[in-house]
Amino acid sequence: MDDRTSASIRTVANSSLTSPAGRAVGGRALTLERADLLPEAPDHLHPDYGGLVVCGAGSSARLNTLRRTFSGVLAEDRAAYEKEVATPDAPFRLPEDALFGGDLDSALQEQLDNGASFAITPTRYIRAGDPAPLEAVVRQVEALRRDDVVVTLPVSIGWLRPETRPTLVAAIRAMEHPVALVLGGQYDPLQQFAAAPQQLRRLLADVPGTGLWRTDLAGFDALAHGAGFAGIGAGGSLRHLVPAGEAAETSGGAAIYPSVLMPELLRFSSAKFIADLYANTVPPTCPCSRCQGRALDGFLGLTNAMKAAAHAHNSATWNAWLPELLQQPTPADRQIWWRARCKQAVQAHELENARLKQPHRLKPPKSLEKWADLPVTPLQATE
């Protein structure tokens, strides 16, 4: 599909954040969490800048229960893109039973009937270099006659390469609904090739208002560079998308410990890594509303209760940062604030190594180093 010649994709100005769905998500970083790790309605999400998205198995029932006590922005992402690959004939996972008739509109309405603030499309994963399913998503979304929908667009990180990014940009521009971009790849997708962070920023400049979904602190970088909203995973499996059909590559052992946000370092680390790191040293403590001074090495465990506690710490921590970012008076001020925060975090790695008397033990994530070094850029289209 060529963005200059495709008859199915028309380039339009992105005004999607003025719709009811756009107003629900605009200017927010929503927390994505698994249904089985939500024992109760969270009370640590910022009412003006946060929100909750229930994900995966059991999400519909949990959404319905949570709505009875949770008054904030609430939605459901069934995450079809985790296991299913989009085809030109079937870009979405649709219900097949007679009750819903197997159409996209009914699948979306079911979410709203369960208490969602807006509906999320059940889009399947779109592989790199496969434009036909992308075009099918655009075509079917264009046929919707509703304004309460956010379109998830789960694509391979390869779509950010210079030769294919214009096609992706054209597809996003063609949709008059808010678009939640999900980037797929092993480990951190934005580390798959060196220019990926810059290419993402260019896409956000080309189509301001696009959301970055199922991400980590890249959501903050995106919000500073033109994104209309973000969806940040409370746990590691909801911060990165392993491409559908691929087994997750891991660098650790069989046990999967909770990932814990280390606030001063702007990094997520395994609870086991943190416990080992501070085995002979006083660990940092966390001031977030959930921890209230709890030591960061206190999340070592494999139970759902421990994972839920670690995830609540993670989301409470970044929710406390949201006003600092989103209340900046101009886009340039957002970028300056975020870059300064990243520079401080890079330096904090050196200071912590010195405190531990272990040079080079903690290395800043490559993405953090990139954010700290990239210049402030004007928010305007580059094409």
Q: Whole-model pTM?
A: 0.92
- Using H for helix, E for strand and C for coil, what is the string for 282-308? CCCEECCCCCCCEECCCCCCCCHHHHH
The single residue listed with the structure tokens 């208002």 is 209
Question: What is the mean predicted confidence (pLDDT) over 162-179?
Answer: 96
Q: Tell me how far CA of residue 281 lies from CA of 133, 175, 346, 364, in angstroms.
A: 53, 53, 21, 20
Question: What is the mean predicted confidence (pLDDT) over 248-270?
Answer: 86
98: pLDDT confidence band, cut at 50, 70 and 90? very low
> CA torsion, points 272, 275, 280, 286, in degrees to nearest 10?
150
pLDDT digits (tens, 9 = 90+) for 44-88: 999 999 999 999 889 999 999 999 999 999 999 999 999 999 999
Residue 1 above 70 pLDDT? no
Residue 129 above 90 pLDDT? no
pLDDT digits (tens, 9 = 90+) for 216-228: 999 999 999 999 9
CB 192 within 8 A of CB 198: no
Residue 379 above 80 pLDDT? no
378: pLDDT confidence band, cut at 50, 70 and 90? low
Please report the pLDDT score of residue 10 as a whole number: 33
249: pLDDT confidence band, cut at 50, 70 and 90? confident
> How many other C-beta atoms can be found within 10 angstroms of the C-beta atom of residue 20?
12
Nearest residue to 375 via CA among 259, 221, 160: 221
Q: Tell me how far CA of residue 197 lies from CA of 121, 161, 314, 382, in angstroms.
A: 26, 11, 23, 15
Contacts 24+ apart (CB under 8 A), 299-304: 299/257, 299/258, 299/260, 299/271, 299/274, 300/257, 300/271, 300/272, 300/274, 300/275, 301/257, 301/258, 301/271, 302/255, 302/256, 302/257, 304/36, 304/37
- Return mean pLDDT, the chain: 91
- Please, what is the angle between helix 304-326 and helix 331-356, to 10°? 130
Is residue 210 classed exposed, middle or buried when 0-12, 13-18 and 19+ CB atoms within 10 A define those classes? Answer: buried
251: pLDDT confidence band, cut at 50, 70 and 90? low
pLDDT digits (tens, 9 = 90+) for 273-305: 999 999 999 999 999 999 999 999 999 999 999
